Amino acid sequence: MDSSDEGHLNLELEVGLKNGCIELPFEHQPETLAIQDAVKLLLQGLREDVNREGIKKTPFRVAKALREGTRGYKQKVKEFVQSALFPEAGLDEGVGQAGGVGGLVVVRDLDHYSYCESCLLPFHVRCHIGYVPSEQRVLGLSKFSRVADVFAKRLQEPQRLADDICSALQHWVKPSGVAVVLQCSHIRFPTLDVDSLSSSSHHGFVKLMVSSGSGVFEDESSDLWGEFLSLLKFKGVKTQALCRNGGSVREWCPSLKSSSKLSPEEDTEMVSAVVSILKSLGEDPSRKELIATPARFLKWMMNFQNANLEMKLNGFNCVKSKCEISESRLHCELNLPFWSMCEHHLLPFYGVVHIGYFCAEGYIPNSTATSLMKSIVHFYGFKLQVQERMTRQIAETLSPLVGGDVIVVAEAGHTCMISRGIEKFGSSTATIAVLGRFSNDGSARAAFLDKIHTATALKTDSSFPI
């Protein structure tokens, strides 16, 4: 076959594809390509070199994660439900209710993640579903999770997600009633202000519990609801936090609390890039709830612009240990909070950094030392990063300032781990970098790790939800 034939064949293939005869491989689908182009533009907006090794494949990874994470737009509840409705004699209309709660079936602790429609960050959903079967028909238990996932894998907010799951089950299963309770956790937002980076304010999650009911569960003050909630309490769900009026639902995403006004450098080109991402996911960017989403998304993303944040290195004068090692003392700065953005997936990771170093006996670290460490952590945090590199960079920067013997441990939760479905929600990653004496002195490392352990055991850990 000569090259012109080949060209002809390619053309035919393309026409065939356009007519929907063959499904294109994922990486060639127009939606994937459009998202990749948009992400490239965003990376340039972050002043990154899009050909840099670490981020060369980021546009593809982001496109894959986003499309995978919103696959619910293309899924149909009917397909999951129809084949899984089983006859079960004895479950006649009214029997369940007549016996009080005799017919109640509760499926608890279904873990999902969804994308927040206000800021495009993933949030975690723990879903509990109760229903009272009727017409001698029950739904296969695994299908509750399937149905929840169809709606979770979209751009969502908690109340709508609960309502969607509830009405879909009511519609396709036709039971006497369905009750849904969702426990949702959304990460907090980064703040660029070093001093307000205290672990209490920027760590942890915004949590919201919402419910939805249909049929015999329409009245949320009914006994049946009470029974359902009791069955959740057995599993440690704090149902008193249930938000019934929808009041705080509108406030739930942290991006809604800050103004979505962009600073001048966030240009219209970047906004259109995010709009094109929304379209490629199958959403309508002009939907009321989504209108300000591109601006909100850019607002948090631009925190990680590759800018030279001022690192206050002057004014710090650690007394370099000139004496023998035996006379120097181990100093620690523990639990310095940080925010960063995973350069592979453009999603935040955040946590704390612990620093240990040796200084001469008699040297007492002052507040200048602490604020120096904080700003170094801050500097290496607020950019596109990988945790391993950040840990090493902090150690290398500190090394000449503190006399060469330094150990750095970073502990972080990675949003990309949740959203790509790999994660058991709440897992965390620890990285360690050692220089100087810490490289070959196991007992020095052990002494430092022990200090972290003691400090961590003291504080009640609220970093991770549920």
Residue 184 interacts with Zn ion (CB under 5 A): yes or no: no
Beta carbon of residue 233, minimum distance to Zn ion (angstroms, whole number)? 28
User: Residue 118 or residue 328: which is nearer to Zn ion going by CB?
Assistant: 118
Q: Which residues pair with 213 in a beta bridge?
A: 179
User: Residue 357 or residue 382: which is nearer to Zn ion going by CB?
Assistant: 382
Residue 116 interacts with Zn ion (CB under 5 A): yes or no: yes
8 A C-beta contact, residue 255 and residue 296: yes
User: Residue 253 or residue 402: which is nearer to Zn ion going by CB?
Assistant: 253
Residue 418 interacts with Zn ion (CB under 5 A): yes or no: no
Q: Give the x/- contact pattern for Zn ion in 118-157, rule: CB under 5 A.
A: xx--------------------------------------
Beta carbon of residue 289, minimum distance to Zn ion (angstroms, whole number)? 11
**Choice from 344, 374, 378, 437 touching Zn ion (CB under 5 A):** 344
By CB under 5 A, which span of 78-86, 124-132, 339-347, 377-385 interacts with Zn ion?
Answer: 339-347
Q: Give the x/- contact pattern for Zn ion in 235-264, rule: CB under 5 A.
A: ------------------x-----------
Residue 139 backbone dihedrals phi, psi, to 5 degrees: -100, 135
Which pair of structure tokens corresponds to residue 264? 């001048």
Residue 35 interacts with Zn ion (CB under 5 A): yes or no: no
User: Residue 97 or residue 118: which is nearer to Zn ion going by CB?
Assistant: 118
User: Residue 255 or residue 321: which is nearer to Zn ion going by CB?
Assistant: 255
d(CA 48, CA 342): 13
Alpha-carbon distances of 126 from 157, 205, 356, rounded to whole Å: 14, 14, 38
Residue 390 interacts with Zn ion (CB under 5 A): yes or no: no
User: Residue 335 or residue 428: which is nearer to Zn ion going by CB?
Assistant: 428
User: Residue 254 or residue 403: which is nearer to Zn ion going by CB?
Assistant: 254
Using CB under 5 A, count the residues that bind Zn ion.
8
For the chain, how big is the Rg over CA atoms in Å?
27
Angle between helices 142-152 and 158-173 (to 10 degrees): 130
By CB under 5 A, which span of 21-29, 226-234, 279-287, 335-343 interacts with Zn ion?
Answer: 335-343
Residue 345 interacts with Zn ion (CB under 5 A): yes or no: yes
Nearest to 59 by CA among 35, 95, 88, 30: 35
**Choice from 416, 433, 434, 444 touching Zn ion (CB under 5 A):** 416
Spell out the residues 6+ positions from residue 188 whose beta carbon is closer than 8 angstroms to its own. Answer: 201, 202, 203, 204, 205, 206, 254
Beta carbon of residue 367, minimum distance to Zn ion (angstroms, whole number)? 34
Beta carbon of residue 383, minimum distance to Zn ion (angstroms, whole number)? 14
Length of the chain: 466
Residue 66 interacts with Zn ion (CB under 5 A): yes or no: no
Beta carbon of residue 73, minimum distance to Zn ion (angstroms, whole number)? 19
User: Residue 340 or residue 393: which is nearer to Zn ion going by CB?
Assistant: 340
Beta carbon of residue 328, minimum distance to Zn ion (angstroms, whole number)? 38
User: Residue 143 or residue 203: which is nearer to Zn ion going by CB?
Assistant: 203
d(CA 274, CA 121): 13
Residue 420 interacts with Zn ion (CB under 5 A): yes or no: no
User: Residue 164 or residue 423: which is nearer to Zn ion going by CB?
Assistant: 423
Residue 341 interacts with Zn ion (CB under 5 A): yes or no: no
Residue 342 interacts with Zn ion (CB under 5 A): yes or no: yes
Residues contributing to the site for Zn ion (CB under 5 A) = 116, 118-119, 253, 342, 344-345, 416
